[in-house]
Amino acid sequence: MPYFTSSTDGTKLHFIDYGPAEGPTLVFVNAAYFGTEMWEFQMLPLACEGYRCIGLDRRGHGKSEDVWGGYDLDTLADDLGSLLDHLDLHDVTLIGHSIGTTESVRYLTRRGSERVARLALVAGMAPGIVRSDDNPAGLPAEAIEAANETFRRDRAEFFSSGMEDYFALGLPGNDVSAAYAQKVVRDCHGATARAATAIVANFVTLEMAPEIRKIDVPTLVIHGDKDASAPIDLTGRRAAALIPGSVFKLYENGGHGLYVTHAEQLNADLREFTGR
């Protein structure tokens, strides 16, 4: 089982590396709570097609070490950078989902694009949902903090009751079995209580408009029009408008979990984006 030690503070992090070493390199950056298992419908088929698919378990998530600190975006982005350095990756397509998009953006603005050729933001939280001068239609910080407090009091209920909205169940094309939804709830509990609550605390102050404007690699923005977790007008559409030359793709009836419900469409768009 592959591990490496992050250069940030020595935390032991788990990663997976699927597919041929010489294939086009895709690096997947997870949503909050999840380990690399969330990308099974992307990493497995794409690796079988010849892509090199790499995923990182964020600190406190999946099989990575449970630690107290380091859940700020700078440290998380540097953990990602440590993985790219450890494997000496180049010409990478960086693919982030949800808060993974914020780590991806922060990596590029901290480390530059020497190793990264392309960026895909899938159902992203970047550039942020909080109200600010750059985002006057955003949510009040107090409302986000209140939601975080509800989450802290009962994560199990939050995960269990949130599956319908997460996958936009009941809408055409969003066919997820009850068994799979239960599996996703179990996967969410792969993040420790400390990691889960610390990661969502970032949303209260997260406003990345100034740095997202600096993205200098080709960028694909994919977002569902029924995303309840990252409302499209605050996130996907705003990201696409802010990133120079980005390509925006709207997934009809797509919720936050579109990497499952719209897996074939997502994989096709990633193939096109990487020129395969």
Which residues are marked as active site?
A: 98, 227, 256
Largest separation between any pair of C-alpha atoms in the chain: 48
| CA 80 from centre of chain | 12
Are 165 and 237 contacting, i.e. CB atoms less than 8 angstroms apart? no
For residues 6-35, one letter each, b for 16 or more C-beta atoms within 10 angstroms of the residue's C-beta and e for the rest, the string is: bebeebebbbbbbbeeebbbbbbbbbbbbb
| CA 236 from centre of chain | 13
Are 25 and 93 contacting, i.e. CB atoms less than 8 angstroms apart? yes
What six digits make up the tokens of 51? 């892509």
What crossing angle do the helices spanning 40-48 and 263-273 adopt, rounded to 10°?
50
211 Cβ partners below 8 Å, 6+ apart?
A: 105, 106, 109
Are 152 and 144 contacting, i.e. CB atoms less than 8 angstroms apart? no
DSSP E strands in the chain: the ranges are: 3-5, 12-18, 25-29, 52-56, 92-97, 116-122, 219-224, 247-251
Are 36 and 16 contacting, i.e. CB atoms less than 8 angstroms apart? yes
SS3 (DSSP) at 139: strand
**CA-based nearest residue to 32, from 96, 80, 84:** 96
